[in-house]
Amino acid sequence: MMGQGRLAAWGIGLAALVALPFVYRDPYHLHILVLILIWSFAYTSWSMMGRFGLVSLGHGGFMGIGAYVTALLWNHLGLSPWIGIPISMAAAGTLALIVGYPCFRFRITGHYFVLVTLALSGIVLQVITATRDYTGGSLGYTPNRASGNRLLALQFDDKTTWYLIALAVWLFGIVVWHWVDRSMARYALEAISEDEDAAAAAGVDVTAEKLKITLLSALMTALAGAIYCQYQMFITPDTVSGIAVSLQMVFAAIVGGLFVSLGPTVGAIITILLAETLRIGFGTKAVGWDNLVYGVLLVLFIIFLPKGILGSLLDRLKPQRKVSRAHEQEAVQIVRPGA
């Protein structure tokens, strides 16, 4: 249940976020904010299933499909991203079902599921690199500049426009997260993550519930890839697809906090600021350092702070609030005995 106070806090925060680009126009900082919002959405999409113990290392694949299918349809068939994006999402969704169904039907869980999804990620990366005549391979790919209607081509030079689009997409992700969190499906998925047989004995169709959340997560991740492609206007297999991107999603979601709605957002802020700091501070000497830092931090977080930064912080705050109320009541009783 969301209290009035929390709702008000969300409202004020959102109003401030919407107003931001109109009062603060530094293009570099807006660029960083757009990146944070898009990646936050991608990480939130991953955590939709990750929070239920469905750890996927295949989401780089879904993101790559979102980005590449949209760009290829635009360049080769002249299909507007407004149509291309739904097609790319459908493609990622279909792939998710093809990989997910046998896994869930035949109870491939835990480490084995992670390995299957890891393979998925690798395969998508290989396909993009191997079909270099179309995709540009590892050199990357650029959607053609629109000659006509910019809105139809979903191409804007204006950072403010992109900031607002990214904000809307990010907000959509948060809303979907809360929608799932408050649905009966969350009970079912929590139950499945603990004990599949017991969940089935409560009447839950385990395979269907797992497929549904996987599909939702894959569709959202593909959307994130497509939006990223439209914003950057340049994609490479390494930046939108593959195992590194998948690992980055896991890292960010875990560091931020898997079990709270803004956890992946906090994760995105940390990862992107870290990457930017390393890039600016050390330039080309630090290429790949961010991955090294991610790896070390990931190990430390899983051991010492499994609920992530935001999750642990909120946990800290909760009991303190209760304690302070108990103190208040004690104080009342001391002042007015018998009250």
Partner 1 sequence: MLEVSGLVKRFGGFTAVNNVSFRVDQGEILGLIGPNGSGKSTIFNMLSGTLAPTSGSILFAGHEIAGLAPHRIINGGIGRTFQIPRPFRRLSIFENVALAGFYGQGRHSRARAEAAAERSLAMVGLPTDRHASVDGLGAAGLKKLELAKALATAPKLLLADESLGGLDEAEMDQAADMLRNIRDELGITIIWVEHIMGVLMRVVDRVMVLDHGEKISEGLPSAVAGDPRVIEVYLGTDAETTQAAAAEARRRAGG
Question: Least distance (Å) from partner 1 to the CB of residue 200?
Answer: 4
When the beta carbons of 191 and 247 are compared against partner 1, the nearer one is: 191
Toward partner 1, which CB reaches closer, 26 or 197? 197
Site string for partner 1, 165-194 (x = CB under 8 A): -------------------x--xx-xx-xx
Least separation, in Å, of the C-beta of 53 and partner 1?
A: 10
In the bound complex, what is the minimum distance in angstroms from residue 306's beta carbon to partner 1? 14
Provide the minimum distance between the beta carbon of 220 and partner 1 in the complex, in angstroms, as a whole number: 23
CA angle 211, 212, 218 (to 5 degrees): 85
Cα distance between residue 294 and residue 2, in whole Å: 33
Binding mask 128-167 for partner 1 (x = CB under 8 A): ----------------------------------------
Q: Which of 277, 269, 338 is nearest to 39 (CA)?
A: 269
Question: Considering beta carbons, is residue 205 or 330 the nearer one to partner 1?
Answer: 205
Q: Which is nearer to partner 1, 208 or 300 (CB)?
A: 208
Q: How far is the CB of 199 from partner 1 (least distance, A)?
A: 8
Residue 114, Cβ density class (10 Å: 0-12 exposed, 13-18 middle, ≥19 buried) = middle
Nearest distance from residue 206's CB to partner 1, in Å? 7
Output 193 or 291, the one with its CB closest to partner 1: 193
Residue 26 engages partner 1 in binding (rule: CB under 8 A): no
Q: Are the CB atoms for 178 and 72 separated by under 8 Å?
A: no
CB of 98 to partner 1, least distance (A): 21
Total site size for partner 1, rule CB under 8 A:
18
Nearer to partner 1, 204 or 269 (CB): 204
Give the footprint of partner 1 on residues 190-219 (CB under 8 A). Answer: 190-191, 193-195, 197-206
Give least dist CB 195 to partner 1, A: 5
Rounded Cα distance between 333 and 115, Å, is 59
Which is nearer to partner 1, 38 or 189 (by Cβ)?
189
Nearer to partner 1, 29 or 105 (CB): 105
Contact characters 40-59, partner 1, x per CB under 8 A? --------------------
Closest approach of partner 1 to the CB of residue 208, in Å = 8
Task: Write out the residues near partner 1 by the rule CB under 8 A.
Answer: 184, 187-188, 190-191, 193-195, 197-206
